Chain A
Amino acid sequence: MSAEPLKRKTDIGPPNYQQFLPPIIQENYGQWKYHEILKPGVLVHVSHSGAKLYSVRAATPRLMSIETIRLFADLADEFCGGYLRFTSRNNVEFLVTDETRIDPLIARLRAEGYPVGGTGRSITNIVHTQGWVHCHSAATDASGVVKNVMDELFPHFEAMDLPAKLRIAFACCLNMCGAVHCSDIAILGVHRKPPKINHDALPKTCEIPTTLASCPTGAVRTASVNGKQSVEVIDEQCMYCGNCFTVCPSMSIINAENDGLSIWVGGKVSDARHPPMFSKLAIPFLPNNPPHWPEVVSAVRNIVDVYASHARKFERMGEWIERIGWPNFFKLTGIEFTKFHIDDFTHAGETFARSAQIRQVPA
């Protein structure tokens, strides 16, 4: 420590949000009467006072340079008094009060490469994780897969042409830093081989009791290797979650030949109509195929297309599947059903069909 320590402020918390609210919000806080979607990406909120606030929603790639943040700041100054916000799905929203500024702003955003859309019955931005850009346990890249999938589904971002909103989420491993487990379509990176243990480094880098406790299936146990305390993995019990690796850096779960992706469908978080649901397994494994991941892109595309042409108005993915039944989901999408689709963890039995109510197929 230096002789004259820096004068430190701590525990001040975030700045008070009130200083960032535009005057129209300060004046109409809690007084909004209704809203409408004027066109894809543009909302108007109307206050009991008659005041109107227009929100122009543009996509961001989530991983953003400060040069882009400065661009957004400049656009906010030019078009809406410097006020903007971000959404829970990594979109940016410009808070406009002058209706005539909406179209010029949209044109500028498009020209800069940040398209406007993602409202209502559309596919909005994919919430996702860090992937190969920054994460130790990633089974795949997040930004790259998301970029390819959104390039493919882009027309659904700019148009509101689906039965209901369709939320896609991406996580690069089972840690799921994001609400992947409750999304209409979830793309999840998976490992498929047990961790490789570095027995020389393990005693120095890992605490053994914590490492044992980290395993959901009790597959990690103590072992003495070359006279040193270490651990071993019971391969048959390992389901490759990588949690031991997070706790113990000497148990690498990364395996380039076998890592890949899985696809899950039918989850939701909102309570509208049907209570929240978990996403369920549709495709257990697809290969990592950078830079374009064509297998993943076409699998997602297929599920979206089948949903779009079969679901009824307002039906989310999970509600549609519940109505038609899982056998029909697999039939319509042409996705193969395998033993991996059948749960075998703690409460597996609850997922078995315990009823003779079956949509029988005529001979």
Chain B
Amino acid sequence: MEDLSVEKVAETMYGMVKDYHGKKNLKATDLTKAMIEQFGEACDKQKCKEAIRVIIDDGRCTYSYVGGSYIVLNPDYHPAS
């Protein structure tokens, strides 16, 4: 449990954003709550914060801000194959 990595949290978050795409916009707080629920004590707010930074900085996700700020799939994300 101790060795839950930020990358693992980031990957899980990214999956969640993909699952909800087109259904519900997720806020940073939604993702954080979901991760802590899923991973329990191994996860905390700081780890979630870092994980959000990972999925935003690597371009998989981006912020949208119509009526509040959300973390959404980045339409311009084209990973190098």
Interface centre among B59, B67, B68 (most CB of A within 10 A): B67
Proximity bits, A341-363, B CB within 8 Å = 1, else 0: 00000000000000000000000
- Taking A210-B68, A247-B67 as contacts, is the C-beta distance between A1 and B59 under 8 angstroms? yes
Please name all residues of chain B whose beta carbon is closer than 8 Å to the beta carbon of A207 when the two chains form the complex: 24-25, 67
Please name all residues of chain B whose beta carbon is closer than 8 Å to the beta carbon of A210 when the two chains form the complex: 25, 67-68
User: Which chain B residues numbered 37 to 77 have a C-beta less than 8 Å away from chain A?
Assistant: 59, 66-68
A205 to B59 CA separation, bound complex (whole angstroms)? 22
A110 to B68 CA separation, bound complex (whole angstroms)? 43
Interface centre among A1, A246, A249 (most CB of B within 10 A): A1
Q: Nearest chain-A residue to B68 (Cβ)?
A: A210
A255 to B25 CA separation, bound complex (whole angstroms)? 29
A211 to B59 CA separation, bound complex (whole angstroms)? 27
User: Which chain A residues numbered 244 to 267 have a C-beta less than 8 Å away from chain B?
Assistant: 246-249
What total of A-B pairs shows CB separation below 8 Å?
20
For the complex formed, measure the closest distance between the CB of B9 and the CB atoms of chain A, giving whole angstroms: 21
Please name all residues of chain B whose beta carbon is closer than 8 Å to the beta carbon of A209 when the two chains form the complex: 24
Q: Nearest chain-B residue to A214 (Cβ)?
A: B67
A209 to B59 CA separation, bound complex (whole angstroms)? 27
For the complex formed, measure the closest distance between the CB of B29 and the CB atoms of chain A, giving whole angstroms: 14
Neighbour of B68 across the interface among A1, A205, A206, A247, CB < 8 A? A247
User: Which chain A residues numbered 190 to 204 have a C-beta less than 8 Å away from chain B?
Assistant: none
A248–B24 CB distance below 8 A: no
A246 to B66 CA separation, bound complex (whole angstroms)? 7
Please name all residues of chain A whose beta carbon is closer than 8 Å to the beta carbon of B66 when the two chains form the complex: 205-206, 246-249
Q: Nearest chain-B residue to A203 (Cβ)?
A: B22
Q: Nearest chain-B residue to A208 (Cβ)?
A: B24
Interface centre among A205, A207, A246, A247 (most CB of B within 10 A): A207
Residues of A at under 8 Å CB distance from B?
1, 205-207, 209-211, 214, 246-249
| Additional pairs, 4, CB under 8 Å, beyond known A207-B25, A248-B66 | A205-B66, A206-B66, A207-B24, A249-B66
Residues of B at under 8 Å CB distance from A?
24-25, 59, 66-68
The 20 listed contacts between A and B (C-beta, < 8 Å) are: A1-B59, A205-B66, A206-B66, A207-B24, A207-B25, A207-B67, A209-B24, A210-B25, A210-B67, A210-B68, A211-B67, A214-B67, A246-B66, A246-B67, A247-B66, A247-B67, A247-B68, A248-B66, A248-B67, A249-B66
